[in-house]
Amino acid sequence: MSHSLLFDALWDSYRDQYGLTCVRDTSESEVLARLGVTDGAPLPRLTVQEAIARFGLEVPAVRLCVSGCWTFLLDVDPHGKTFDPRAMSRLSVGTEVVSAWHMLAGTVRVAHAYDGHVLATYRDFMCKPAEGTDPGRLNRALDSVGFFSDEFEESDDWHPAEMALAAIEREFAMALAPEVVNGPLATVSLPDAYPGD
């Protein structure tokens, strides 16, 4: 069974839940502009615990960092706002976005968007491959780590929350160090509506 270094990086700070959206080759400032964040002041740099203390669990907020060619948006509390198809479409204009979302004992969701269009969405509880206009790449990634296999999914060792991250980190060449995730990162609350809504 596969192992996920991305999951390991998130584990100390996020434990049994996460919201992660990754935007290829796009600066933090451009990512924030696409989400409608207009505050030009330097953003506070917070650990996840400090961010929860500052924004609470009711305010959708993200912590940002860049690793390799990806800008990572880490939900302070897994609100899923950047997993929303409207957000993924906005973020993916001229580039690519991959998002994964898992809440406590809830299902795992993974999505892939390219150039303004959500191509595929996978929901683990549906027990079937990703759906969308072009789900091939996401399904290949999920299949490569054991999704859609009765042998793995019926095993006590099967952890879809980890395997979803293993799938995207390998297929999309992502890496994120635990010391980065656990340290202070630029943190911002997200607006209630996206530009143009």
Give the Cα separation of 197 and 86 in Å (integer).
9
Over its length of 197 residues, how does the chain's per-residue pLDDT go in tens digits? 578 889 989 887 887 789 999 999 999 999 999 999 987 678 999 999 999 999 988 899 999 999 999 999 999 999 989 999 999 999 999 999 999 999 877 789 999 999 999 999 999 877 789 999 999 999 999 999 988 887 666 666 778 899 999 999 999 999 999 999 999 999 999 988 766 65
153 alpha-carbon distance from chain centroid: 22
> Which amino acid is present at 196?
G
